[in-house]
Structure 1
Amino acid sequence: MTETNGAAEAPQAPKMNILAQFIRDMSFENILAQKGVSGEVQPDVQVQVNLDAKKRTAENQYEVVMKLKVDSKSKTGSDQLFLLELDYAGVFHIENVPEEQLHPFLLIECPRMLFPFVRRIVSDVSRDGGFPPLNLETIDFLALYRNELARRAAQQEAVGQA
C-alpha cells in the first residue's frame, strides 16, 4: 500500500548531456598571405553568430549548430586580412524541460556549453594561420536570443502592414 499526502509531485530539474560535438564545416582564408603582404597590421575584427537547433530522430535528442563568421580587416587600409567561417555542432540529450521553454533552452543554454570549444578553435586557427591568437569575447546568448525575437517580430509587423 502506498501513501500519498496529497502533495503534487515536485517537478524534476532539467537534465542536459552533451552526447557529441564536432566541426560540421570550417573555412579559413588567409588573404594577407595570398596577397604577399607582410609587416605589422592593426586588425579590425567583426564577428557574426547565428544559431540553429533541430530535433533529432532519437527521443530527447537535439542538434544545435553555432555558425560563426569572423572577418578581419586592416584598420588602416581596410584590406581584408583573413576570413574564418565555422559551423560547430553539438548533439544534446535534454530531459525535463517544458515544451514552451525548450526553444530558448536550445538557443541559449546549449550554445553556452559549446562556446568554450568554439573559442579555442578560433584561437588556434587564427594563430596557426600566422596571426595573433584571436580570443573571442564571451557571447551573451540570452541577448542574442532576445534580439532575434525582436527582429522577427518587427519583420512580421512590417509584412503585416505591407
Structure 2
Amino acid sequence: MSETPPEPQTPQGPEGAPGDAPAMRVLNQYVKDLSFESPNAPEMVRPDLPPPAVEVAVDVNARGLGSDQYEVELSCSATATRDGKTVFVVETNYAGLFLIQNVPQEQIEGVLLVTAPQLLFPFARQVIASATADGGFNPLRLEPLDFAGMYTMQKARAAQGGEPPVGHA
C-alpha cells in the first residue's frame, strides 16, 4: 500500500475559493547545531551526587528568505555546575522553515518571534533532554517558555532605546 502525501492547503475564502485568509505552514524543522560537553566526566556523572545547578538561556532569531518564507531559529543552552565545576554544557540551535501568507506586515514580527518559537520549542526541548540523557545524566526537561512575554519585554527595551526586537525575542 502506498501513501500519497496530502496536498498543500491554500487559504480559502467564501464558498471555498482561494482567499486572503492569513496562513502559516511549517515547511521543515531541523537541528542546525548541537553540542554537548561533559568536561569533568566521569567525576561528575556519579549517580550518588546531588543535582547540579542549571542555568538556561534562550534566544530567538528570524530572517526572511523571500517568497513568503522565513527561517526561525531557537537557540537554547544550559550550563550545569556543581561545587564550582562544570557538570555539562548543552547547546542547540533548532530551526524551522515557515511559509507565512496574507499576514499584515505589522503582525509578521509577532508571528515570527512568538508563534513560530512556540511551535519549535517542544522539539528543541526534546533535543536537549536526549542529549543530556545520552551524556549519562537525568534528562534536562526545560520548563515551558512565555515567548509572548519575552517578545513584549524586548519591545519595551527597544522603545527605551535598547536593542530592537526585529529578529530577536
TM-score above 0.5: yes
Which letter maps to 1:86? T
Superposed, which structure 2 residues align to 1:1-162 within 5 Å? 12-33=20-41, 36-37=43-44, 38=46, 39-57=48-66, 59-74=67-82, 77-156=83-162
Which letter maps to 2:94? Y
Deviations 1:95-148 (A, max 9, x none): 121000001110000001101111111111111111101111101000111111
* Unmatched segments (≥5 aa) in structure 1: 1-10, 158-162
Which has more radius of gyration?
Answer: 1
State how far apart, in whole Å, the 2-side matches of 1:152 and 1:133 are.
36
2:73–2:93 contact (8 Å) kept in structure 1 = yes
Which letter maps to 1:116? P
Which letter maps to 1:28? F
State how far apart, in whole Å, the 1-side matches of 2:20 and 2:146 are.
27
State how far apart, in whole Å, the 2-side matches of 1:41 and 1:81 are.
11
Query: TM-score, with normalisation over the residues of structure 2?
Result: 0.78
Which letter maps to 1:79? K
When residues 156 and 116 of structure 1 are mapped into structure 2, their CA distance, relative to the original with a 3 A threshold, is closer
* Unmatched segments (≥5 aa) in structure 2: 1-18, 164-169
RMSD: 1.8
Q: Identity percentage over the alignment?
A: 38
